[in-house]
Amino acid sequence: MTEAAGKGRPEGQENPWKWIGLGLVLVAIIVAGRTLPIERWPTEFDQWILAKGPEGLLIFTAGYAAATVLLIPGSLLTMATGFAFGIFWGITVATVGSAIGDTIAFLIARYLARENIRRFALRNHKFTAMDDAIGEHGWKIVLLLRLSPLIPFNMSNYLYGLTAIRFWPYVFASVAGTLPANLVFVYVGAAGKAGLMRLTNPKAPHSPLELTLLAIGFVTTCLATWYIHRIASRALQKSRPARQ
């Protein structure tokens, strides 16, 4: 661990501001749910994006890529792709959008803002461990980190740009590593839309069998993602370079 990483709060001590912030977010959600017409927003959004046709796919993909570059958490956006486009097109938009965003962030770190990002990275002992592991095992570590992230996902795109990994192995490892989580969130969005349609319109064309298959697929995907995450975590533990 670097000297900078060792300064500050003692290891293992909780940050109270994290819990205060979480509490404020929960209060804001409760207040918004009671004062704003949130229940109408998903339907109105769905109607707006579907009215755009193929243009809607491009708009959403570009927005997803921009959110990735701007370090905006993508889980809600990924669920929105499933809600708006269904499972197939939802996972397509999420995969392409995240791949474009990951690539742009990687190139920014490697060629445009390298020194600024390096100064930030060197204060984080997790980056040092990640850099050592990538130097020894290459794209395999990027794939494992995508499946079981050691560093927050969007921030890690910039950190990978500082490592020795080559461009195309990074892109392919990133796409493959993000697929399981993207599929889970897309399933959540698609299932949420199906459930909302049944609640707001009992005559909606969704049979009980279709809803059952959707639920089974979601549970299966979650279990598979959890298992992949577990395998990736174990592999990361074994691949960490020994320190003197």
Show the DSSP H helices in the chain as ranges: 3-6, 16-35, 41-51, 54-69, 75-107, 114-121, 125-137, 139-147, 153-160, 167-200, 208-239
20, two tokens: 């205060």
- pLDDT confidence tier of residue 104, bands split at 50, 70 and 90: very high
From CA 27, how far away is CA 33, in angstroms rounded? 10
CA dihedral 18, 19, 21, 22 (to 10 degrees): 120
pLDDT score of 12 more than 80: no
User: Residue 121: what residue type?
Assistant: A
- Report which of residues 126 and 172 the model is more confident about: 172
pLDDT score of 32 more than 60: no
pLDDT at 166: 92
- Report which of residues 208 and 82 the model is more confident about: 82
pLDDT at 108: 94
pLDDT score of 203 more than 80: no
pLDDT at 15: 55
pLDDT digits (tens, 9 = 90+) for 121-166: 777 777 777 777 787 778 888 888 888 766 778 888 998 998 889 9
CA neighbor of 214 nearest in space, from 90, 74, 123:
90
What is the chain's mean pLDDT, rounded? 75
This prediction has a pTM of 0.70
From CA 239, how far away is CA 140, in angstroms rounded? 10
Residue 65 near residue 48, CB atoms below 8 Å? no
User: Residue 171: what residue type?
Assistant: V
Neighbouring C-beta atoms of residue 151, cutoff 10 Å: 18
- Report which of residues 19 and 161 the model is more confident about: 161
pLDDT at 201: 61
Q: Distances from the Cα of 198 to the Cαs of 145, 201, 202, in angstroms?
A: 38, 5, 5
pLDDT at 174: 92
pLDDT score of 107 more than 90: yes
Minimum mean pLDDT range among 14-18, 74-78, 125-129, 169-173? 14-18
pLDDT at 207: 56
Q: Distances from the Cα of 56 to the Cαs of 8, 45, 62, 85, 177, in angstroms?
A: 47, 11, 10, 9, 26
* Mean pLDDT value across residues 207-211: 57
Residue 214 near residue 194, CB atoms below 8 Å? yes
pLDDT at 171: 94
- Report which of residues 151 and 17 the model is more confident about: 151
pLDDT score of 37 more than 70: no
